[in-house]
Amino acid sequence: MTQAVEMLGITKTFPGVVANDHIDFSAAKSETHGLLGENGAGKTVLMSILYGLYRPDSGRIMVDGEEIRMDSPATAIRHGIGMVHQHFMLVPSLTVAENVVLGNEVTRSRVVLDTKRASDEVRVFSERCNLKVDPDAPVHTLTVGVQQRVEIIKALHRGAEILILDEPTAILTPQEVEELMKAIRALKAQGKTVIFISHKLREVLSICDRVTVLKKGRLVGTVKTGETSLSQLATMMVDRQVLEVFKKKTVQGAGAVLNVEDLQAVDDRGLPALKGITFDISVSEILGLAGVEGNGQSELVEALTGLRRVRGGRILLNKIDITAASPEKRIRLGVSHVPADRNREGLIPDFSVMENLILGSQSEEPFARRHTVLDYGAASRYADGLIADYSISTPGRETPVRNLSGGTQQRVVLAREFSRNPKLIIAYQPTRGLDIGATEYVRGKLVEMRDNGCAVLLISADLDEIRALSDRIAVIFEGRIVALKDPKKTDEEELGLLMAGGKVD
């Protein structure tokens, strides 16, 4: 089989991160090839290198057997590579035809735009590709799915033979996904190569011929979809680390700390993300929530911390209804939150370590006198204490957290969240991006807090982490809890299958 595109030994580092580590990738003519991996696995970086947006540190790129120096998107386009980004690059006020011909406009005597001819040309072209659109419709009147189709037509119109789709289904409704799948099959029939970036197992399995799986910047492997299964892909994709066994005290559960009843919420696009979630967590219990990213986890965390309004259901904390309480109120009642993206949600990077440590308590005694004037003396003593207790390696409490390493930043978050006597800890991907040492520290702290009586909701895509720490495991899939398991009575295969939406008898 001749490869339409081949990437050999691609390495790309960003300051502090190896985004791609000697990755080999290839796709054949008229193949639909899935590129699978968690967020941060390096999928988009790899494809951005193919599209000329990033220069690799090392490695070679071949198109139709010829080595190409891919130094810009213009070069990539010249060699028949097109990319549809997650964020569309369309001009909303222009028509479909105008958007498609943008950059090589159809003109009369090189000056006057010939919109009529452009429109006809785009109509004929789109029909030939089996991707129907109205060339005269202004783009802003179109649904997201149709806008995506316009992007695909635009790429094909520029001569793309190899089409990269970056998480194309992330923004689509189920019906639109069906339409897209049809379009991809049509492209395949025309001999186009489609590279389909996704972290949704089912879609990849249903549309692709082969799948390449990446994890933390490394190649896990390439498999034919006919010779693999949901659970195999799930276990290839999620993280497995050598982990130490945590010794947990056996504690008698003394009633539920958190009750979540039939919780419903929509995502940022207004589509249902939580479709009736019910669970509870007791004193001294870690509930692990396993799931492939994008199945409602972030909406659940936001609903529990008060950052997202819910459409239905109730949240009870120690029997108090907090469904409509503000984030501030929930913090007072003992909800601590270790967010997934600490730099965006957990910390104020330009603030000092001390200022970050008092976030949320800034108007409370002893840090504020009469809720108005900050007491830097008290804040300093408190900060110095936490810096010692949590071994936060910083030049001093005045250092901006921006200047600290990822692991140290996470210690700042933990120190703040764990030291205000929480009843419930919501830990969302608490070890993502941390090295082994920092990971062990965070996990140890979570267990310690549990042993001291906290209820912990641990949300992670890392199955080993979930299994090592949890007292119970819940599996979330498409906004529903699909299973509750005892970690001792389940295994990776079963969890992988459940995470992928499979049924277990």
Partner 1 sequence: MTEMGEGGHREIGLSPRLLAEIRSGLMRMLPQVIAVVAAFIVGAVVLAVTGYDPVDAYAMMLRGAFGDIYGIGQTLTKATPIIFTALAFLFAMKSGLFNIGAEGQLVIGAFAAALVGISFDGLPALIHVPLALLAGALAGGAWGFIPAVLKAKLGAHEVITTMMLSYVATYLTSYMVNYPFKAPGWVAQTVPLDPSAQLPRILPPTQLSASFIIAIILVALTYIILQKTTLGYEVRASGLNPVAAESGGINVKRTMIIALVVSGAMAGLGGAGEVMGVHDRFIEGFSPGYGWDGLAVALVGGLHPVGVVIAAILFGALRSGGMTMTRVTHVPLDIVVILQSLVIIFVAAPMLIRYLLRWREHKG
**Residue 39: Cβ-neighbour burial (10 angstroms; 0-12, 13-18, 19+):** middle
Asked if 411 interacts with partner 1 (CB under 8 A), we say no
Asked if 104 interacts with partner 1 (CB under 8 A), we say no
Cβ(467)–Cβ(473) under 8 Å?
yes
Q: What are phi and psi of 454, to 5 degrees?
A: -75, 150
Minimum distance from residue 345 beta carbon to partner 1 (Å): 5
Asked if 366 interacts with partner 1 (CB under 8 A), we say no
Strand partners, 393: none
Helix (H), strand (E) at residue 222: strand 218-224
Asked if 316 interacts with partner 1 (CB under 8 A), we say no
Minimum distance from residue 342 beta carbon to partner 1 (Å): 9
From 210, 337, 432, 450, residue interacting with partner 1 (rule: CB under 8 A): 337
Minimum distance from residue 360 beta carbon to partner 1 (Å): 4
CB closer to partner 1 out of 178 and 328: 328
Q: Which of the stretches 126-134, 348-356, 437-445, 455-463 binds partner 1 when contact is defined by CB under 8 A?
A: 348-356
Cβ(63)–Cβ(36) under 8 Å?
no
Q: Which of the stretches 98-106, 210-218, 243-251, 324-332 binds partner 1 when contact is defined by CB under 8 A?
A: 324-332
Asked if 355 interacts with partner 1 (CB under 8 A), we say yes
Alpha-carbon gap, residue 218 to 410, rounded angstroms: 24
Asked if 371 interacts with partner 1 (CB under 8 A), we say yes
Minimum distance from residue 173 beta carbon to partner 1 (Å): 24
Alpha-carbon gap, residue 435 to 303, rounded angstroms: 29
Amino acid identity of residue 290, one-letter, is A
From 372, 437, 489, 503, residue interacting with partner 1 (rule: CB under 8 A): 372
From 178, 398, 435, 491, residue interacting with partner 1 (rule: CB under 8 A): 398
From 320, 396, 421, 436, residue interacting with partner 1 (rule: CB under 8 A): 396
From 177, 368, 447, 504, residue interacting with partner 1 (rule: CB under 8 A): 368
Sort strands 66-67 and 58-63 into parallel, antiparallel or unpaired: antiparallel
From 339, 407, 430, 479, residue interacting with partner 1 (rule: CB under 8 A): 339
**Residue 30: Cβ-neighbour burial (10 angstroms; 0-12, 13-18, 19+):** middle
- Contact code string over 456-495 relative to partner 1, x by CB under 8 A: ----------------------------------------
Burial 475-489 (b: 16+ CB within 10 A, else e): bbbbbbbbbebebee
Question: Residue 59 in 3-state DSSP?
Answer: strand
**Residue 93: Cβ-neighbour burial (10 angstroms; 0-12, 13-18, 19+):** exposed
Alpha-carbon gap, residue 375 to 448, rounded angstroms: 31
Per CB under 8 A, residues contacting partner 1 are: 305, 307, 326-328, 330-332, 337, 339, 344-351, 355, 359-360, 362-363, 368, 371-374, 376-377, 380-381, 384, 395-396, 398-399
